[in-house]
Amino acid sequence: MKALSQKRRHPLAALALLVLGLMLTGGLYAVVTTVNEAKAATTTFTADQAHQGEKLFVANCATCHGLGAKGTENGPSLAGVGAAAVSFQVGTGRMPMQMQGPQARQKPAQFNADQTNELAAYVATLGNGPGIPEAQYLDGKGNATVGGELFRVNCAMCHNAAAAGGALTRGKFAPALAGVSNDHIYEAMVTGPQNMPVFNDANITPEGKRDIITFLNTIEHQGSPGGAALGSIGPVSEGLLVWTLVLGVVIGFTVWLTSRTS
């Protein structure tokens, strides 16, 4: 018993237990994350799509991303980014980039839907990553109230509470979300384009993403029932408008009053 007690008090015992606990925690997290991602991303591609996508990639993307998409000084490696990243970046016209800059800007898409899927199929063969989301999470029929709460907690600090967008540092910005398709909203959440963090299914479940999409659809369709939106940037623009109107009234009254006196 004394020998066992001495072994338990060994100075490395606590470190060994800590390492074992971290390994178990990491393993469980990896399993849960994989299960959740598989729940919302089950799209499969054919070998022919991947083959055609490789041809498109070599002709249009390899200049920056390198042959085999291994990356160069002008573009990162695409191994493991997943089909969803290609669908978002290429589908919104952000890729191929028009010019180097602090942030890829949206522009008319260079490839049609079939070509985009072929590029996505090729990149998906380079490593595991988020897949194209299932249609059931893109129908816009979730809970807008829950989605609004999730959006304000996770997204409003950059995109504005009304999803009107906002400025970031070093010439970057969070774009307005009006007019963005539901599939691109979902794909942005799971891939984290530009400065956006990745919200995998362990952070926000597929149902939660569906609720956020429903909230964004709702506020876009309802417009501005209270009157002029004033950019939807909050009390700054509203206070400036009120100050300008009040100051104009005061100046006008002063001019009228002095003209009456003379």
41 neighbors 201 (Cβ within 8 angstroms): no
- When pLDDT is cut at 50, 70 and 90, the band that residue 37 belongs to is very low
Structure tokens at 44: 């499969």
On the question of pLDDT at 45 being above 80, the answer is yes
> Is residue 55 located within the same domain as residue 118?
yes
> Is residue 161 located within the same domain as residue 106?
no
Residue 262: inside a domain: no
Residue 17: inside a domain: no
**Number of domains making up the chain:** 2
Average pLDDT over residues 130-159: 95
On the question of pLDDT at 36 being above 50, the answer is no
Residue 236: inside a domain: no
Residue 237 has a pLDDT of 67
| Structure-model confidence comparison of residues 58 and 222, the more confident one | 58
Average pLDDT over residues 174-180: 93
Residue 188 has a pLDDT of 97
CATH number of 122's domain: 1.10.760.10
Report the binding-site residues for heme c.
61, 64-65, 155, 158-159
Give residue for tokens 């002008």.
Answer: 74
> Is residue 145 located within the same domain as residue 66?
no
On the question of pLDDT at 79 being above 90, the answer is yes
Q: Which domain holds residue 212?
A: 133-223
96 neighbors 110 (Cβ within 8 angstroms): yes
Which of 97, 114, 132 is a domain's end point?
A: 132
- Identify the CA nearest to 40 among candidates 118, 164, 129, 133: 133
- Mean pLDDT, rounded, of the chain: 85
Report the binding-site residues.
61, 64-65, 155, 158-159
> Is residue 109 located within the same domain as residue 191?
no
Which of 103, 132, 161 is a domain's end point?
A: 132
Average pLDDT over residues 53-80: 93
Which residues, in sequence order, are CB contacts of 65 under 8 Å at separation 6+?
57, 71, 72, 75, 76, 77, 78
| Structure-model confidence comparison of residues 133 and 12, the more confident one | 133
Which of 132, 149, 179 is a domain's end point?
A: 132
- When pLDDT is cut at 50, 70 and 90, the band that residue 227 belongs to is low
Span of 142-151, 203-212, 217-226 with lowest mean pLDDT: 217-226
81 neighbors 123 (Cβ within 8 angstroms): yes
Span of 27-41, 62-76, 89-103, 226-240 with lowest mean pLDDT: 27-41
Residue 69: inside a domain: yes
> Is residue 52 located within the same domain as residue 125?
yes
> Is residue 108 located within the same domain as residue 138?
no
Residue 21: inside a domain: no
- When pLDDT is cut at 50, 70 and 90, the band that residue 262 belongs to is low
- When pLDDT is cut at 50, 70 and 90, the band that residue 102 belongs to is confident
> Is residue 127 located within the same domain as residue 144?
no
